[in-house]
C-alpha cells in the first residue's frame, strides 16, 4: 500500500467513525423544552407572568424531563415527540411514558394557540368551516365555552379538523387528538395549574378571557391548511 493510499484509507475510516458517532449522538438526542413563542408577561393581564413561569418552567419542564428519563434505553429513544406520543398511546406498559410525552406535546401546542392581542374570530376558510359546523363564530364560541367549563376534572378542550368538518373535542388528563381524534387546530388547557393563580376556581372567567383576548386564530388557520 502506497503512502497516498494509506492516507486516503485512514481519512475514509476516520470519516466512518465520525459518521457513526454523529448518528449515535443524533439517535440519543433527548426531547427538548421548546422556547415560549413570546415573553412570559406577553399574555398579561389575562394570564400572569407568574402563571406562565410556573406552568412552563415547572409543569411543562417536568413532563419533558420525565419523558426523557422514561425514554432512556428504549426503542423510542431519539424519536420525535409526536411519534413517542402515538407509539405509547393505549400501551399499558407505557402509560407513564404516554402521560409525560403527551403532556409535553399538549403544552407546546397550547402556548402556540395563544398570542398577544388575540381573540375575536377567524377569517376566510376557517370562518366558513365554523359557519358550516356550528352556525357561525358566535355559536362556536358558546359551544367551546360550554365544553371547556363543563369538562369534569383535568384536561383539554380542542378545536379539531375531522374529515371536512371542524369539531370541539374534550380530552381528559394527558389524552390528545393526535392519537386519532382528528387534526388539532387549537387548544385551551383546563388543568387547574393553567389558571388557578389568576382565577382561582373561576374556570369560566379564564376560558372567556382566553376566547376574547388570547386565542391565536392565525395558528389555527395554519393547522387547518396543514402547515
Task: For the chain, 227 residues long, give each residue's pLDDT as a single digit of tens.
Answer: 455 544 444 444 444 544 444 444 444 579 999 999 999 999 999 999 999 999 999 999 999 999 999 999 999 999 999 999 999 999 999 999 999 999 999 999 999 999 999 999 999 999 999 999 999 999 999 999 999 999 999 999 999 999 989 999 999 999 999 999 899 999 999 999 999 999 999 999 999 999 999 999 999 999 999 84
In a domain, 162, yes or no: yes
| CATH number for 174 | 3.55.40.20
In a domain, 52, yes or no: no
Q: List the domain range (segments joined by +) for residue 143.
A: 124-224
Which are the contacts of 170, defined by CB distance < 8 A and separation ≥ 6?
Answer: 147, 148, 151, 155, 156, 157, 158
Reported pTM: 0.87
In a domain, 178, yes or no: yes
In a domain, 158, yes or no: yes
In a domain, 110, yes or no: no
In a domain, 217, yes or no: yes
In a domain, 184, yes or no: yes
Q: Total structural domains in the chain?
A: 1
Specify the residue for cell string 393553567.
Answer: 194
Which residues make beta-bridge pairs with 162? Answer: 165
Other CB atoms within 10 Å distance of the CB of residue 128: 12
Question: b/e per residue, 3-14, with b = 16+ CB within 10 A?
Answer: eeeeeeeeeeee
Which are the contacts of 41, defined by CB distance < 8 A and separation ≥ 6?
Answer: 48, 49, 52
Alpha carbon separation from 182 to 65, 166, 169 (Å, rounded): 27, 9, 9
Which are the contacts of 152, defined by CB distance < 8 A and separation ≥ 6?
Answer: none
Question: b/e per residue, 49-67, with b = 16+ CB within 10 A?
Answer: eebbebbbeebbeebbebb
In a domain, 69, yes or no: no
- Distance CA(58)–CA(55), nearest Å, equals 6
Amino acid at each position: 500500500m502506497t503512502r497516498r493510499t494509506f492516507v486516503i484509507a485512514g481519512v475514509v475510516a476516520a470519516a466512518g467513525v465520525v459518521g457513526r458517532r454523529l448518528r449515535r449522538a443524533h439517535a440519543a438526542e433527548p426531547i427538548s423544552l421548546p422556547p415560549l413563542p413570546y415573553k412570559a408577561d406577553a399574555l398579561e393581564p389575562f394570564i400572569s407572568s407568574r402563571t406562565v413561569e410556573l406552568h412552563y418552567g415547572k409543569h411543562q419542564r417536568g413532563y419533558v424531563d420525565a419523558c426523557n428519563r422514561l425514554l432512556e434505553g428504549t426503542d423510542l429513544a431519539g424519536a420525535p415527540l409526536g411519534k413517542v406520543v402515538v407509539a405509547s398511546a393505549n400501551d399499558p406498559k407505557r402509560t407513564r411514558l404516554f402521560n409525560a410525552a403527551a403532556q409535553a406535546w399538549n403544552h407546546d401546542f397550547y402556548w402556540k394557540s395563544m398570542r398577544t392581542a388575540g381573540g375575536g374570530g377567524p377569517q376566510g376558510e376557517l370562518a366558513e368551516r365554523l359557519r358550516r359546523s356550528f352556525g357561525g363564530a358566535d355559536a362556536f364560541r358558546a359551544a367551546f365555552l360550554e365544553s371547556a367549563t363543563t369538562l369534569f376534572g383535568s384536561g383539554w378542550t380542542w378545536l379539531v379538523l375531522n374529515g371536512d368538518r371542524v369539531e370541539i373535542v374534550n380530552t381528559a388528563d394527558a389524552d390528545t387528538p393526535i392519537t386519532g381524534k382528528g387534526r388539532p387546530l387549537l387548544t385551551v388547557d383546563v388543568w387547574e395549574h393553567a389558571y388557578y393563580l389568576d382565577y382561582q376556581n373561576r374556570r369560566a372567567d379564564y376560558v372567556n378571557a382566553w376566547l376574547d383576548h388570547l386565542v391565536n386564530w392565525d395558528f389555527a388557520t395554519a393547522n387547518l391548511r396543514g402547515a
